Amino acid sequence: MKVKLISDSTCDLSPELIKKYDIEILPLYVSIGDKNLKDGAEVSPDDIYRYVDESGKLPSTAAPNLADFLDLFKKWRDEGYEVVHFNISGDFSSSYHNACLAAEEVGGVYVVDSRNLSTGQGLVVLYGAELAAQGKSAKEIFDLCNAIAPKVEASFVVDSIDYLRKGGRCSAVAALGANLLKLKPCIEVIDGKMTPSKKFRGKIDKVIIQYVTERLSGRDDIDTHRIFITHTRCDKEIVDEVRSKIAEYFKFDEVLETVAGCTVTSHCGPYTLGILFIRK
């Protein structure tokens, strides 16, 4: 049977990748003021920056509801497809729970909890797309993607913790101290949850290169098929420098750059950058 791949919008895949691999995107919702907007379709990261600058508040995000999932799953099932749907980690959002409820009702739908977000999730989606191109069944894709998800290594270094403070993820006192000391925290996704790890110190452009060096140096456990450079509003010069630094350590088949969507933007703010890849 034909297989259709769907992902929620937190995968942060570029329009080019979505088109290339024929992936359907189901948007989450972003609430800005009294407007409830579809992520990527009706609201962009630039809208979030503008809203935060003008209001001093962060927007909130919400999962697709059960009806959203039911409508989309039924559409593809009615066209004769089995469906594999990829979700942001179930620990981040009720999206996974809603997708599972809809899948149970519709049948022929397999829901993968990516245990990640952003292009950490995107890596699992693209792995599934390559399996589909090989002719794997929906159940085979589901099983293999569940097996690969724990091997995804996702992390970001954050320029300012103001967005984290506004979102209640650190105190005002901690934010003040970090800003005074010019600390740049690294956020890792571990076991499906965002976890603060090392704090770097200095200007963000220097910190980013130090972060990339520490993530890649001395490693022999990295799958060199694909790596993402995912960022929010970073200058081209620093992204190009990150590409060069990656090339010093590994020759990847693909080095893909994406601009993070509304979820990472809401959590981390501008000048955030991460490298995301799969371990062997």
pLDDT of residue 264 exceeding 90, the answer is no
Q: What is the mean pLDDT of residues 125-133?
A: 98
Q: 16: burial class by Cβ within 10 Å (0-12, 13-18, 19+)?
A: exposed
| Average pLDDT of the residues of the chain | 90
Which pLDDT value is given to residue 90? 93
Least confident of 19-23, 156-160, 167-171: 167-171
pLDDT of residue 206 exceeding 70, the answer is yes
28-45 as b/e: b if 16+ CB within 10 A: bbbebeeeebbbbeebbb
pLDDT of residue 258 exceeding 50, the answer is yes
How do residues 84-98 score in pLDDT, each as one tens digit?
Answer: 999 999 998 899 999
pLDDT of residue 172 exceeding 60, the answer is no
Which pLDDT value is given to residue 180? 39
**Residues listed for the chain:** 280
Q: What is the pTM of this model?
A: 0.93
For residue 16, the one-letter residue type is E
Which pLDDT value is given to residue 216? 98
Q: What is the mean pLDDT of residues 8-25?
A: 96
* Sequence-ordered list of residues with C-beta below 8 angstroms from that of 14, at least 6 positions apart, any chain: 256, 258, 259
Domains detected in the chain:
2-149 (3.40.50.10170), 152-279 (3.30.1180.10)
Measured in whole angstroms, the distance separating CA 10 from the mean position of its chain's CA atoms is 5
pLDDT of residue 167 exceeding 60, the answer is no
Using the Cα atoms of residue 247, residue 250, residue 254 and residue 258 in order, give the sign of their dihedral: negative
